[in-house]
Amino acid sequence: QVQLVESGGGVVQPGRSLRVSCAASGFTFSTYGIHWVRQAPGKGLEWVAVISYDGSNKYYADSVKGRFTISRDNSKNTLYLQMNSLRAEDTAVYYCSRESKLYYYSYAMDVWGQGTTVTVSS
């Protein structure tokens, strides 16, 4: 079945780095854009970044621009989020989610992973 599975979350000190991953299965990964969306404890959803189906276009929220990098390896059906200079306010559950339309941006996300928790604390 169509599935996204995040991994790599954990506890990290402020200022350090962490990379989380998202493994896709059940669909042709290389034909869909993929988003990262996060949710701080007890808070709402916050869009983080998106990458186009072929990796040629990337967009970021202002809150992570310059610190986070989204990338993908279509040969491995895997999405990544490299997070540098982490801050306490980056503490959240990080979800990867699939664009609802092939190749193009619809800005709607029709498949979501279960999330991976990142905690930034000393």
Partner 1 sequence: QSALTQPASVSGSPGQSITISCTGTSSDVGGYNYVSWYQQHAGKAPKLMIYDVSNRPSGVSNRFSGSKSGNTASLTISGLQAEDEADYYCSSYTSSSTLVVFGGGTKLTVL
Q: What residues make contact with partner 1 under the rule CB under 8 A?
A: 35, 37, 44-47, 50, 59-62, 65, 95, 97, 100, 105-110, 112-115
Least distance from partner 1 to the Cβ atom of residue 26, Å: 15
CB count within 10 Å of CB 7 equals 12
Hey, how many other C-beta atoms are within 10 angstroms of the C-beta on 113?
Answer: 22
Cβ neighbors of 52 (< 8 A, separation 6 or more) are 33, 58, 105
Q: Which CB, 80 or 94, lies closer to partner 1?
A: 94
The nearest distance, CB 122 to partner 1, in angstroms, is 27
Between 12 and 50, CB nearer to partner 1: 50
Of 23 and 45, which has the nearer Cβ to partner 1? 45
3-state helix, strand, coil in the chain (%, to 5): 5, 50, 45
Least distance to partner 1, CB of residue 9, Å: 14
* Least Å from the CB of residue 61 to partner 1: 5
Kindly tell me which of 15 and 57 has the beta carbon lying closer to partner 1: 57
Would you say 6 and 18 are in contact if contact means Cβ atoms under 8 Å apart? no
Q: What are phi and psi of 88, to 5 degrees?
A: -55, -35
